[in-house]
Structure 1
Amino acid sequence: MKKLLSLLLLAFVAGACTEDESSPEPQPVPEPQPEALTQPAPVQTEVTENTLSVAWEAVEGAVGYVYTLQYRNEHGAVTPIVAETETSELTASFQELVPATEYTLRIKARGDGETTLDSAWAELRATTQSPAYLSGPWVEFEVSYAERNSYYCTIDVTFTPNDKTTAYYASCVYSSYFDDDPDNPDFIPNTEEDMINYLLAQKPVADNHMTDTSWGYAYDFILAVVGVDAEGNPGKLHWKQLRTMDRPSTGGSEQSEASVRIQHVVINSGELEGAPESCFAAVYRFEPVDGARTFRYEDGYYAGDFAKKEPSAWRDYFTNLSNAYGEGYDGYYSGWKSSTLLESSDGLYYYDVTFWDASMAGETYEVIYMAFDEAGVPGAPGSYTVTLPDELPAITVPENESSTDLLRAANAALQRQPRTVCIPFRH
């Protein structure tokens, strides 16, 4: 019996030793994770009144670079001046910039996606040079007015340039947008240099004559003109604060049948070139109907705002030119936009786009509008309701030609408008 127990014990020990001597299973070796590249360090190399050049050192491991040029206004709204652009160069140059204006260059190094990742964005702020102004050339002007219809009058201006002037630029601008004291040369918030820059961005005046038919009766405005000499240097600004003629005693109560039909689609802002990231993009298509020649609209009102005011109040709002600057509706809104400024692909449909912050998911707002017939008589004001999705739509490839046309029109609208920034819901 003792011998049997001994044999069993030996067999157990032998089996245990066999298991201990066996090799462990090999463990997988973790693959190295890609790391983000170092940020580029852009530096300003040359700047003039209208141009800017920058350069940066090569980033080790980068397969290329992506840059964009932006303008940020005093309220923080960001406008892409140059959309995101890929390059393999170590320099970038920008033309046709506005003098005395600060721009922000954003740039990142691109990784290959396998061993390296894109770097974080680096920023460089640069300000274009202020222009040198001359004491001349000078351009004089005379102003007269004529009746157009019950809502708008005509401003006629005749210019007389001096012998130094080879071209000149002029415009009528709403008075309170600049300054209420024409004897004060220091505009608040704008300066005379700001006004000159604004004028030089327009087309030159032809035939020493200018006609503006879009002004209402009894409105204050500023008429400003600047001449340019043979070398292209702007001269002294000539400007006056004026007032259009009083409204005729008859008329003013007509209402036309003009209206507008609105359709919309909400997409991810990533579908549009140069748009801000991670926003709702509300793309509108407007169709003037029932004799409508033009229309004006504004979006972002709270649901129910349209019903809170009488139609006559909205008629006053959309016929008052000052409200294009958001000055006439409790101070909360950015101002209406006109179909004359919207993209039209075939003379019938007009397109525009507004970006809303992702925090507005699920919110409902109103688009309020009013159309005008060929004689400028307004139709009944109306409203259109938009409800944003509960989450940002995915970025997709257009499914058909109709979708492609819509994105093309939205991209055209985006390149045209300055308001390319995600905005939260209005208060």
Structure 2
Amino acid sequence: MTEPSQTDYRFRGKDALLGAQMLFVAFGALVLVPLLTGLDPNVALFTAGAGTLLFQLVTRGQVPVFLASSFAFIAPIIYGVQTWGIPATMSGLAAAGIFYVVLSLIVSWRGTRVVARIFPPVVTGPVIMVIGLILAPVAVHMANGRSGDGALQLVPQSTALVVSLSALAVTVLVSLKGRGMLRLLPILSGLVVGYLLSLAFGLVDFTAVAAAPWIAVPAFVLPRFHAQAIIYILPVAIAPAIEHFGDLLAISSVSGKNYLRQPGVHRTMLGDGLATSLAAFCGGPPNTTYSEVTGAVALTRVFNPAVMTWAALCAILLAFVGKVGALLQTVPVPVMGGIMLLLFGAIAVVGLNTLVRAGQDLLEPRNLAVVALILVCGIGGMELSLGAVSFKGIGLAGLAGVILNLVLPCRPKEEGEIGVPPAPH
């Protein structure tokens, strides 16, 4: 692979359509996160665009990636919003962005090996698995027409299953059989088919869309410092921070340019962290690089990072169209539930693949202890209280994995370079 040159960035009006196409590829996944977590989809559109522009500024416009809503934080955002409210949850997400910034400084100072020592696959793999599996009941409830906690039956179960399983089937078929650009739109395809079926069953109410203005400022929310929310969410940042390396490897492989060297992992992770904190200060979900957009780059062979600038500008413009957010919020529960059945399982599989690619013996006592305790603490909902501070769920699982990995005797061969596959997000 070659190193990117400073002349790669070419901002041209004729690339605007390509940029809109890149946003179209990312759109389904981008808006799914706010719809699942109770955040404003217009804010998510704005923070995706603004975060991408900030990332390009930090990386000197050298990397053709688009940043948008991260799936890894869905579970903690749902819990945080229900427990402490959106402003407090945003403080935890802002802290996650700062965590990326700190990691970028460590990488700049000591290189990637020190990060690999603290966060090896035996820690990050099961943490990613927990992120997916802990959400499995939510997906099942919603696919059956119930609220995420299963308390309310929002849609008759028989109708809900027709809609959710149809959306699921289309998502799977497009991912397997889709050709060209269609192959990169499985989530959006599932959403469209599920939505059309919902219209046929009379599950969609357009009252809010009719009342919404065409032009409106997104409902930005400032974070409010909340120590408990920060402690709960911060350990979750471990997995997506390490997946960042995998995303860089993917786009480097696609473009044939070594972005790990130029602009360097420290700059790309810094850009990711600042974009995530920016999103939190606006009330949006954390940002991450999108593998669908990387696939679109590979398909179109358009490696000019300025195309992502156009995608970012399109996202920001759409964020100020009030009817867009109102329309997105009419998507019925079963449509999202059907797609989530696949999505959350896919996140767990990415974690499993991280362990498989590491090639370690999971029955070796040390590895067995680390992986087993991460999985049980995370999926089982283990809670540990130390005075006024409480650790639970994914946060406790991630923290336990890091501590066990550092204190348990480690064989020299278990330390290696970071090599993880890019997650769905």
Q: Which has the higher contact order (CA 8 A, sep 6+)?
A: 2
Q: TM-score range by the shorter chain?
A: under 0.3
User: Greater helix percent: which structure?
Assistant: 2
What TM-score do you get using the length of structure 2 for normalisation? 0.23
User: Greater strand percent: which structure?
Assistant: 1
Q: Which has the larger radius of gyration?
A: 1
